[in-house]
Every structure is written in C-alpha cells, then in structure tokens.
C-alpha cells in the first residue's frame, strides 16, 4: 500500500496561540482515514493546511508529503483538481449561485481535463446521471436540496480526476436518510485513491471504516483502526463521544400504561399547505399531560410547521386543533427554538430578560435559584448577553424561562440540532426529565429517529 | 417580472400626475390674470389677446372653480399638449427635444467614464488590498464629501481658468464636454468604486470562488467564470440607486457649465417662473428616471435570474 | 443601550460641533449684520475688524458665514428629526399594521420614488421662492422614504424572528416587543441614515442656492454665496474658498459621523 499523504508534526497557530497541536498521520492507498471530533477541535484547520487554504492570519508548521514528495504550498496548489481535492462543508455556498449545475461540472472537464465543450457537456451529463441528478442538471444551486447540492459538489470536485479526496463534514445539515448515500458516493469516488474525512458524527466514522483519529481541542487523543477504537475506546473523551450518539443513549421513554390520561391537546385530520404545496394531510393524534411526543421525518416534510400549527403560529389548511386544558393561560403554550441565539435579543443581558419575565408574571424569586442549579446554569451568565454564552447554556436558559411560566405544552423544534453531541445529550435529557416532573406535555421534533426513539413516549412519522 | 413592470407603469402615471399637479398649483399661485397666463402658455406669448384669454376662461371654467381647471390642465398634459414657453413663446416640446439630446450625451459620457474609473479601481483595491485600498478609500471619501458643484467649481478654477486646458462653459466642441462629464464621472465613481470593491472582495472570499480553484480551475478561469457575473450583481443593482445621484448631478453640472440640457432648462425655468417649461422639463426627467430604472431592473434580472431587486 | 463610536466618528462629531460653535458665537457676538454694507471696504482681506474679510458689498464675511452655517444646521437638524421620526414610525406601522396599511404606504412610497429627490425639491421651491420652510417641507418629504424602507425591511425580519415570537408567546405586549426587539435592531441604521440625511439636506439647500432658486439674497446661504463670490475668484480667492470649504467640511463631518456606508 503506497502512502499518498504523509503529515509530520503539522501544527497551526494564530499568533502565538496554538490552534492545532503537532499531529502526524499517513493516508494510504485504499485505506480511508477519518478524523473525529467536536466542532472547534481544530480538525477543519488540518484539511485546510493540507490543501494550502489556510487564511493569511494563521501560520503553519511541519512537513506535508504528497505522493512521497515534500511539496511547498504552491506545488500542492498545482495538484488541485487533478490529484488532490477538498469537498466543502456547505455545498450550497461552495457552488456558484448563478451557474446551472451541469455547467459547474462541465467546466472542470473542459478547463482541467482539456476536453472540447461538447465532450465536457456529455461527460457532465453522464456524471449527473450517475448520481441521480439528471433531471436537475439545469437547475441552479438555490433550487436544489442539501443532499442534491452535495452530490453535485462531489461530481464537480472529482471531475478533474483527483482520487485523493479530503471531505470536511460532508454530511453536515443532511437528513439521516441522505447521509448514507453521500458516504457511499464518496467511497466509490476514492476507490482508486483514498479518502480523508473530517466529521463529528460517530456513525459516519463507523460506516467509513479504515483508520480513525479522535481529536479534542486541537489535540490528538486516540488513534487506531476505526472499528477497534469505536467498539473498544480507551480514551475517556472517545467514550463520551460514542455515548453521546443518540443510538447509545439510555432509553428514557415511558410505557403507555404508566401515563396519566388527562389530555392536553387533540389534533384531528390536520393538513398544512405552504407555498401552494401540501406538506401533509390527515394527521390525527392527541397529547396527554406529561407526555413526550416525538415527530420525525426528512427536512421539508412539515415537522416544524406541525408544531407551529399546534401553537397557532401557522394556519392549518384543514382539520382541527383543540386545546383540552381550558384553565391554562395563552403564555403557557410555548416553544423552544432550534437555533438558541436567534431566540433571544442581544440588546440586553440575560438577567434583564429574566427580570422582565419575572416582573410581567409576578413569578416568585425563590423559584429561580433551585431551577438554575437543576439546569446547571451558573449565576454569572445573567450578566452576559445571548451572544456571549454557549449554545448549550442558552438552550438551558430558554428551558428555564419556559418552565418558570409553568407551561402545559412545549413545542421543542429540534432543540439540540445546533449543539455538539455531548451537550445535546445533556440538554435533551434535562428537558425530558423536567417536563415529566412538571407534567408539561412536549412535542419534540427531530431529524434523528434514534434520538426520538430513545426519549419520546409516542412517535409520529411524517 | 410582471409585478416589476406594473410597478413601473404605476410610477409613470404618478410622475405625470405629480408633475401636473405641482405645476398647476404653481400656475395658480402666480399673481395676475390666470386666463391670460394660460392662454400665453398654450398659444405662445405673441398670439395672446383678450379674446384668447376669454376663450380659455370659458373653456376651463376659471370663474367657476379650481377643480374644473385642474381637470382640464391634466387633460392637456395627457395629450402631451405641453404648450409654449412664457418667456420665449416657443413650443415647449421643441425646446425639450433639443435639451434632452444634450442631457443624454452628458449622462452617457459621465456614466461611461465613471465605469471606466470605478471598475478597475474597485477590482484592483479588492485584489491587492492595503495600502492601495486605504489610499483609494480616503480619496473616495474626500470626493464624496464635496457636492457636485463644488467639484465642478474646482475643476473650472484649475483646468479652465488656471491652466486654460478646457473651455469654462458652453457647448459645441468635444472639448466642452470634458469638464462636465469628468465632474459627473468622478462624483459617481467616488461612490461606485467602493461598491465594486466590496462586491469583488465578497466574491473573492466566497466559498464557491475557492471551490472553483480547488476543482482545478486557474485563477483567471475562476475569475472569468465565477467572478465577473457574481461581482456584477450588486454593482448593477447599485447603478439603479445611483440614477438619483446621476440626475441630480446633471441638474447641478448643467447649470454650472451652462450646458444646454434639461437640468439647466429646469433651473432656469424655475428662476424665471416659466411654468410650461418647468412642467415639460420635470416631466421628461421623471419619465427618463422611470425608464432608466426599468432598464436597470431588466439588466439585473438578466444577470441574476434568481429574483427581482428590491424597489 | 450600548452605543460605542469609532475614532473617525468622534472626529466627525468634533468637526460638526466646531462648526456649530463657530456659527452660534458668530451670530451672537459679531458687531455686524449680514446685510450691513460698507462700500469703502470691498473685497478686503482678513483683518482685525473683519476676521474673514469682506465680500463685494463690503459685508462682513464672518457674520455671513456664521449665519449661513447656522441656517444649514437648522435645516439639517429639522429635516433629520422630522423625516426620521416619520419614516421610522411609518416603517414599523407598515409591518405591524397589517397588509392593508403596508400596501397603502407602499404605493405612497412608490409615488415619491418616481421622481429624483432634487427635482421634487426644485418643484416645491418654485411654488414659494426663497422660503426656508418650503425647503424644509420638501426635503423632509423626500427623505422620510429612505428611513421608511430601511426600517420596514429590518422590522419585517424582527417580527418574524424567533426572539420576537418567543417574547410574544410569553405574554409580552407591543411596547415591550418594540423596546427590546425592534428598536435595538433599527437604531444603528436609523443613526447612519440620519447622519447621511443631515449631509444631504445641507447639500440640497446649497445646490438650490447655487442655481439661484433656493434662499434668496440678501440672506446668507452657502450655495448662494458660492455663486455670488465666484466672479471674484482671482481678486479674492480666499472669499470663494470659505463657502466651498465649509460645505465640504459639513458634509465630510456628517459622513464621518455616519461611520459605515449604506
């Protein structure tokens, strides 16, 4: 097996601060390599350093050998497209918004491979057919779904003939059902060379196999054969990462028999339309006090719209939503948002926001401290604004605000999808626990079927 | 596209109505016998006598009320019956035609030169960065702080009076066009070069721009295939915004350089209270403004078929 | 509300304040009036009596400049206050008042945008020649549209933001939502627009004065003074320089104060 890529003590600095501690690795022919770690662990910097794409503000040390030769930055840049290529994180941003999909592939055949315009178009057409995009060849990226855009980006990236592929979070923001397809496509494209993947997703690391490196905050913590490491992790952090995968969560759903039968809300034959398209119809269910109901489905299927409709934030096109609890005030039907920072104003501190709420509803002061302790929120975050606290803290603060109002129903719209897996696990568990204790009904929307299966008592699939 | 055109048609109607209404108010606010003035504006100063005035008085019901007179005033306008100048007695339409040609020449020359300055400077600043960027940034801010007429006065003082390179004012030879066009061009370019620069910088840093190079395309191929068009989108949309500055600039520059265009005509007519000419000049400017805006809209749609630009 | 200004914004504020102080002191303490002629002292250079010299009628340039700057500031401030209040209020109302209100305001704005601002102001100026108040009215009428469009666009985003929606669901009223969500979002843009609006108002008045259809003699106005002094550019260049430099300084000051470009 020949070594395609060899890194010796590669490190990245901003000024004197080390962002990525010295790391050495080898990418071998036919043996994929995966780097696993949370956001902010410096793994994207590694890919940029290999390509020669580090921003000017960052400096770089160490040696990079490609195909057995130590190459300078310019020499590596000369390999782009023909031998070495990097897939972007966000395919929508990586594709020219004004150019039709097929032309973004064809231009590589024409300008990199030197084919004639007609041949290039034909090759591109064939490529798109292979990845199931033949019908969307003449669409612009804005008209494609995330999965389609990623397939287009992979076709464009590999059209130049490169077999050494670096993929930086190639499945970010994609539905679970689309994820496998992308991974298989990447595997088939790198069959003659090799694939270096950077991901935070344990499932992808498992699927890709090969060798695995686990990184935490710019430092390598564990490496070895992927299956070995994942089945028998040695490092504490690796174990935590694996345990944070919804698949390995403890099952906290409650069997039907143990529940109260006091109904909070009934939905009958609901249908929702958006932009002239029917998202779903004939959906009926009821939610009981203290029950956690999960909603799963691919993006765009109307999961979030369903929750908004239950809260009266969106009109339904057919059917009926009945609130059975008549004593509850309007402000006891609440929502938790997907992106925590967007759900708060940054104009004042979190403390002021909390005080606003306490003053408005005459909430007893003595309830706050115990609940904050329970949610693991330090007192000090009250002095800060929503921009200065972490996403996990902010989502817990959102739960705090909601619980202070004694909600009867809480719609949690992918409350942890923007959080890293370890935090996501904590926040989800806390939310479910507290909802059960207080008797608040929860509608939890998620793109991850595992997460819903482990935490929710009932599951609605759209 | 349809909604955009409908909006522009609506604007065209309101331009005609707005200009007509304002000039009507103007006509009524003048001292003296109104019938006499309207007769003069319709048939020319030389053909006015008490008979014609009586005819007008009867037709417009001037004795009866403002409303009827207003109605007739707008009706005349809708038939493009612009009347005669109160000062020269000549038909307004002839004067306007003559002025429009001069204004368009100045506008086109100014716009062309401004593009020739702004695009290379903007691209160069985005490409090379500091210190050039800061120098041009400071220079643009200084020019932007100067009203168009101050810039023009400086040019006249330097290039016409001090060095005698170009004529001070007037028209007729190509040399007469240089200073007015340059004044207009510089005042426009001082703003638009920053827009070009920001757009180019934004595009150069975009993920798709980098990805194109990662795919294997050369820097030049990337610029040609993914740069030009993406940079052009905000720049062309900005030309729509700059139309206001351009028309305002033309009014000032024409007055300063005695360039016989619409703006010069309008300012003169207002000074002389020559209402038919005010109406004609304002009308042509409004129509021109709406037409040019429509053109920019279509250009934007052609470059970026994703959506129509706002406003 | 945190409101930090950059260095260049402080410089802009400094320039404007110095000019304002000059205007106020000049108007209060100058022994001359703006129309007091002295034909024995025509086109004088700066001297102990006339610190900035005298014009072609022997009038004190310092007095006239102080009044002209004062007049410009008065118009600029009046226009900014009127148009920003009107534009902001209507912009928020357009979003909050429902589709009908939004549509009616949209049509009004479309009408105003159909003519270039300067042409509208010129037409108004023609109705009552030389009136300060008609200039104020016309310029404010033209300028509120800009605030309206920006405020409406930002408010629309805020109204649909999770943050605002969340506050509403928790039972907070309209005033709270405006105070915590809308106002903090629009205030930087309104401030920037106001600074540019001040510059534009001053510029428009000077432009009208320059083409002789604005403020009329013998009043002192920067644009008017530029044309009046232009014929004496070679005999007394320092006189012509005064209104030109001051206009540029005022506009520059406002541009610096604005901070960012719109």
Residue A245 and residue A451: Cα distance in Å, rounded?
A: 8
CB contact under 8 A, B213 and A80: yes
Whether B302 and chain A come into contact, CB under 8 Å, resolves to no
Residue B222 and residue B216: Cα distance in Å, rounded?
A: 9
Does the pLDDT value for residue A239 go beyond 90?
Answer: no
CB contact under 8 A, C180 and A348: yes
Residue C10 and residue C200: Cα distance in Å, rounded?
A: 20
Residue B227 and residue B207: Cα distance in Å, rounded?
A: 12
Question: Where do the domains of chain B lie?
Answer: 34-81, 93-303
> Which residue is it, tokens 């008609």?
C134
Whether B217 and chain A come into contact, CB under 8 Å, resolves to yes
CB contact under 8 A, B161 and C233: yes
- Enter the pTM of the model: 0.83
For B23, name the nearest residue in chain C, comparing CA atoms only: C123
What is the fold of B93-303? MetI-like fold (1.10.3720)
Rounded to the nearest 5 degrees, what angle is found at the Cα of A94, between the Cα atoms of A88 and A100?
135
Q: Considering only CB atoms, which chain C residues are within 8 Å of B311?
A: 113, 149
Q: What is the pLDDT of residue C140?
A: 93
Q: How far is CA B132 from CA B124, B126, B195, in A?
A: 8, 9, 16
- Neighbouring chains of A at 3+ CB pairs under 8 Å are B, C
Does the pLDDT value for residue A367 go beyond 60?
Answer: yes
Q: Complex ipTM, two decimals?
A: 0.79
Q: What is the pLDDT of residue A414?
A: 85
Q: Chain B closest CA to C114's CA: distance in Å?
A: 5
Work out the widest C-alpha separation in chain B, in whole angstroms: 84
- Neighbouring chains of B at 3+ CB pairs under 8 Å are A, C
For A401, name the nearest residue in chain C, comparing CA atoms only: C170
Whether B130 and chain A come into contact, CB under 8 Å, resolves to no
Q: Which of A145, A189, A147 is nearest to A167 (CA)?
A: A189
Burial class of residue A326 (count of CB atoms within 10 Å of its CB; 0-12, 13-18, 19+): exposed
Which of B35-49, C37-51, C103-117 has the highest mean predicted lDDT (pLDDT)?
C103-117
* Residue C115 and residue C237 in contact, taking contact as beta carbons nearer than 8 Å: no
Query: Which of the four pLDDT bands, split at 50, 70 and 90, describes residue B311?
Result: very low
Q: Which of B208, B303, B304 has the CB atom closest to A93's CB atom?
A: B208
Chain B residues 100-139 within an 8 A CB cutoff of chain C: none
Q: Considering only CB atoms, which chain B residues are within 8 Å of A160?
A: 215-216
Percentage with pLDDT > 70 across chain B: 89
Q: Chain B closest CA to C216's CA: distance in Å?
A: 11
Q: What is the pLDDT of residue B64?
A: 62
Mean pLDDT across A80-84 = 84
CB contact under 8 A, B285 and C226: no
Q: List Cβ neighbours of B84 (8 Å cut-off, separation of 6 or more).
A: B40, B41, B42, B43, B44, B45, B90, B91, B92, B276
Q: What is the pLDDT of residue A200?
A: 83
Does the pLDDT value for residue B247 go beyond 70?
Answer: yes
Query: Which of the four pLDDT bands, split at 50, 70 and 90, describes residue C78?
Result: very high
- B127 or B4, which is more confident? B127
Q: Considering only CB atoms, which chain A residues are within 8 Å of C178?
A: none
Does the pLDDT value for residue C2 go beyond 60?
Answer: no
Mean pLDDT across A1-29 = 83
Does the pLDDT value for residue C3 go beyond 70?
Answer: no
Question: Do strands A33-36 and A58-66 pair parallel, antiparallel, or not at all (unpaired)?
Answer: unpaired
Does the pLDDT value for residue C1 go beyond 60?
Answer: no
Average of per-residue pLDDT values in chain B: 82
Four-way CATH pick for A248-461: 3.30.470.20, 3.40.50.300, 3.50.50.60, 3.40.630.30: 3.40.50.300
Q: Lowest mean pLDDT of A32-36, B59-63, C52-56, C177-181, name the range.
A: B59-63
Query: Which of the four pLDDT bands, split at 50, 70 and 90, describes residue B308?
Result: very low
Burial class of residue B292 (count of CB atoms within 10 Å of its CB; 0-12, 13-18, 19+): middle
- Neighbouring chains of C at 3+ CB pairs under 8 Å are A, B
Q: How many residues does chain B have?
A: 311
Which CATH number applies to A3-245?
Answer: 3.40.50.300
Q: How far is CA B217 from CA A1, A79, B220, B222, in A?
A: 30, 11, 8, 6
Q: Chain A closest CA to B226's CA: distance in Å?
A: 7
- Locate C113 and state its tokens: 């945008």
**Each residue's pLDDT tens digit, B265-291:** 888 888 877 888 888 888 888 888 888
Mutation target for A interface from B215, B222, B230: give the one with most A CBs within 10 A: B215
Query: Which of the four pLDDT bands, split at 50, 70 and 90, describes residue A167?
Result: confident
Q: Lowest mean pLDDT of A251-260, B22-31, C62-71, name the range.
A: A251-260
**Each residue's pLDDT tens digit, A110-153:** 888 888 888 888 888 888 888 888 888 888 887 777 778 888 88
Residue A26 and residue A230: Cα distance in Å, rounded?
A: 20
Mutation target for B interface from C116, C157, C213: give the one with most B CBs within 10 A: C116
- C121 or B66, which is more confident? C121
Does the pLDDT value for residue A453 go beyond 60?
Answer: yes
Q: What radius of gyration do chain A's Cα atoms show?
A: 25
CB contact under 8 A, A93 and B206: yes
Query: Which of the four pLDDT bands, split at 50, 70 and 90, describes residue C241?
Result: confident
Q: What is the pLDDT of residue B310?
A: 40
Residue A339 and residue A294: Cα distance in Å, rounded?
A: 19
First to last CA, chain A: 47
For C232, name the nearest residue in chain B, comparing CA atoms only: B157
CB contact under 8 A, B11 and C111: yes
Q: What is the pLDDT of residue C17?
A: 92
Does the pLDDT value for residue A102 go beyond 90?
Answer: no
List of domains in chain C: 7-257 (1.10.3720.10)
Does the pLDDT value for residue A25 go beyond 80?
Answer: yes
Chain B residues 49-78 within an 8 A CB cutoff of chain C: none
For B96-131, b/e burial (b = at least 16 CB within 10 A) is beebbebbebbbebbbebbbebbbebbbbbbeeeee
**Each residue's pLDDT tens digit, B200-243:** 988 998 888 988 888 888 889 899 889 888 898 888 888 888 88
Q: Which of B157, B205, B202 is nearest to B179 (CA)?
A: B157
Does the pLDDT value for residue B153 go beyond 90?
Answer: no
Alpha helices in chain B (DSSP H): 2-29, 34-43, 50-59, 66-78, 92-128, 132-145, 148-155, 174-205, 207-214, 219-222, 228-257, 262-272, 275-303
CB contact under 8 A, A108 and B215: yes
Percentage with pLDDT > 70 across chain C: 97
Q: Which of A86, A90, A140 has the CB atom closest to B306's CB atom?
A: A140
* Cβ pairs B/C, distance under 8 A: 124
CB contact under 8 A, A98 and B212: no
């Amino acid at each position: 097996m020949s070594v395609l890529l060899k890194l010796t003590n590669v490190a990245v600095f901003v000024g004197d601060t080390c962002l990525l501690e010295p790391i050495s690795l080898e990418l071998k022919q036919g043996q994929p390599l995966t780097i696993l770690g949370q956001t902010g662990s410096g793994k994207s910097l590694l890919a940029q350093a290999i390509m020669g794409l580090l921003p000017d503000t960052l400096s770089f040390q160490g040696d990079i050998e490609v195909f057995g030769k130590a190459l300078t930055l310019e020499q590596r840049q000369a390999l782009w497209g023909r031998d070495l290529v990097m897939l972007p994180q966000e395919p929508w941003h990586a594709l020219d918004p004004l150019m039709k999909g097929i032309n973004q592939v064809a231009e590589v055949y024409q300008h990199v491979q030197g084919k004639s315009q007609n041949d290039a178009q034909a090759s591109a057409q064939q490529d798109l057919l292979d990845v199931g995009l033949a019908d969307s060849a003449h669409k612009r990226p804005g008209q494609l779904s995330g999965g389609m855009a990623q397939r287009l980006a992979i076709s464009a990236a590999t059209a130049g003939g490169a077999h050494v592929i670096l993929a930086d979070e190639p499945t970010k923001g994609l539905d679970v059902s689309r994820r496998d397809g992308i991974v298989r496509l990447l595997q088939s494209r790198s069959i003659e060379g090799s694939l270096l993947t950077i991901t935070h997703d344990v499932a992808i690391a498992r699927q890709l196999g090969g060798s695995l490196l686990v990184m935490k905050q710019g430092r390598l913590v564990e490496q070895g054969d992927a299956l070995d490491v994942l089945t028998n992790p040695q490092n504490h952090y690796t174990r935590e990462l694996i345990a944070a995968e919804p698949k390995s969560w403890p099952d906290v759903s409650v069997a039907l028999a143990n529940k109260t039968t006091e109904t909070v809300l009934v939905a009958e034959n609901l249908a929702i339309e958006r932009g002239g398209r029917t998202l779903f119809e004939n959906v009926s269910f009821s939610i009981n006090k203290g029950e956690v109901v999960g909603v799963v489905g691919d993006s765009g299927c109307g999961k979030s719209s369903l929750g908004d409709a239950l809260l009266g934030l969106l009109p339904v096109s057919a059917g009926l939503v009945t609130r059975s609890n008549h004593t509850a005030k309007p402000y006891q039907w609440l929502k938790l948002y997907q992106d925590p920072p967007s759900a708060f104003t940054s104009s004042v501190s979190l403390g002021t926001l909390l005080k606003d709420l306490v003053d408005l509803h005459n909430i007893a002061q003595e309830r706050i401290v115990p609940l904050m302790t329970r949610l693991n929120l330090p007192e000090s975050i009250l002095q800060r604004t929503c921009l200065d606290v972490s996403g996990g803290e902010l989502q817990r603060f959102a739960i705090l605000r909601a619980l202070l109002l004694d909600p009867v129903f809480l719609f949690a719209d992918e409350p942890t999808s923007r959080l890293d897996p370890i935090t996501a696990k904590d926040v989800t568990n806390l939310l479910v626990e507290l909802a059960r204790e207080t008797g608040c009904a929860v509608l939890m929307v998620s793109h991850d079927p595992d997460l819903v299966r482990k935490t929710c008592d009932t599951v609605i699939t759209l | 596209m349809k909604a955009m055109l409908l909006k522009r048609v609506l604007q065209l109607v309101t331009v005609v109505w707005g200009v007509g209404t304002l000039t009507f108010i103007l006509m009524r606010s003048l001292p003296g016998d109104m019938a006499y003035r309207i007769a003069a504006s319709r048939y020319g100063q030389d053909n006015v006598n008490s008979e014609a005035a009586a005819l007008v008085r009867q037709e417009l019901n001037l004795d009866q009320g403002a409303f009827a007179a207003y109605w007739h005033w707008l009706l005349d306008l809708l038939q493009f019956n612009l009347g005669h100048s109160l000062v020269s007695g000549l038909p307004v339409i002839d004067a306007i035609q003559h002025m429009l040609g001069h204004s368009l020449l100045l506008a086109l020359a100014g716009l062309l030169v401004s593009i020739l300055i702004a695009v290379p400077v903007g691209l160069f600043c985005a490409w090379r960065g500091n210190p050039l960027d800061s120098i041009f940034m400071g220079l643009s801010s200084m020019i932007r702080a100067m009203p168009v007429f101050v810039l023009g006065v400086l040019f006249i003082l330097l290039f016409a009076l001090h060095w005698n390179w170009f004529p001070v004012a007037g028209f007729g030879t190509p040399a007469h066009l240089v200073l007015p066009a340059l004044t207009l061009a510089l005042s426009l370019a001082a703003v638009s070069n920053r827009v070009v620069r920001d757009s180019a910088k934004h595009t150069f840093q975009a993920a798709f721009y980098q990805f194109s190079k990662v795919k294997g395309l050369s820097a030049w191929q990337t610029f040609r295939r993914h740069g030009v068009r993406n940079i052009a989108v905000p720049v062309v949309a900005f030309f729509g915004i700059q139309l206001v500055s351009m028309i305002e600039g033309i009014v000032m520059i024409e007055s300063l350089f005695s360039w016989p265009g619409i703006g010069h005509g309008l300012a003169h007519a207002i000074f002389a209270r020559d209402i038919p000419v005010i109406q004609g000049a304002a009308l042509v400017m409004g129509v021109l403004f709406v037409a040019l805006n429509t053109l920019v809209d279509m250009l934007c749609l052609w470059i970026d078929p994703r959506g129509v630009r706002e406003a | 509300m945190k409101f930090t200004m950059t260095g260049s914004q402080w410089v802009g504020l400094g320039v404007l304040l110095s000019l304002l102080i000059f205007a106020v002191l000049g108007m209060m303490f100058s022994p001359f009036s703006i129309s007091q002629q002295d034909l024995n002292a025509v086109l004088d250079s700066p001297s102990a009596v006339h610190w900035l010299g005298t014009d072609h009628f022997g009038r004190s340039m310092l007095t006239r400049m102080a009044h002209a700057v004062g007049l410009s500031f008065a118009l600029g401030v009046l226009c900014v206050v009127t148009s920003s209040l009107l534009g902001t209020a209507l912009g928020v109302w357009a979003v909050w008042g429902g589709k009908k209100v939004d549509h009616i305001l949209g049509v009004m704005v479309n009408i105003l945008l159909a003519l270039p601002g300067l042409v509208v102001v010129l037409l108004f100026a023609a109705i009552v020649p030389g009136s300060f108040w008609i200039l104020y009215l016309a310029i404010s009428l033209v300028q509120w549209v800009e605030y309206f469009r920006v405020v409406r666009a930002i408010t629309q985003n805020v109204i649909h933001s999770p943050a605002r929606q969340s506050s509403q669901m928790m039972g907070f009223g309209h005033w709270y939502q405006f105070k915590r969500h809308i106002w903090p979002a629009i205030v930087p843009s309104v401030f920037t627009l106001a600074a540019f609006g001040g510059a534009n108002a001053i510029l428009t008045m000077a432009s009208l004065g320059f083409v002789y259809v604005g403020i009329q003699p013998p009043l002192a106005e920067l644009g008017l003074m530029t044309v009046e002094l232009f014929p004496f550019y070679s005999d007394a260049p320092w006189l012509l320089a005064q209104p030109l430099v001051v206009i540029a300084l005022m506009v520059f000051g406002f541009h610096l104060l604005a901070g960012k470009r719109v």
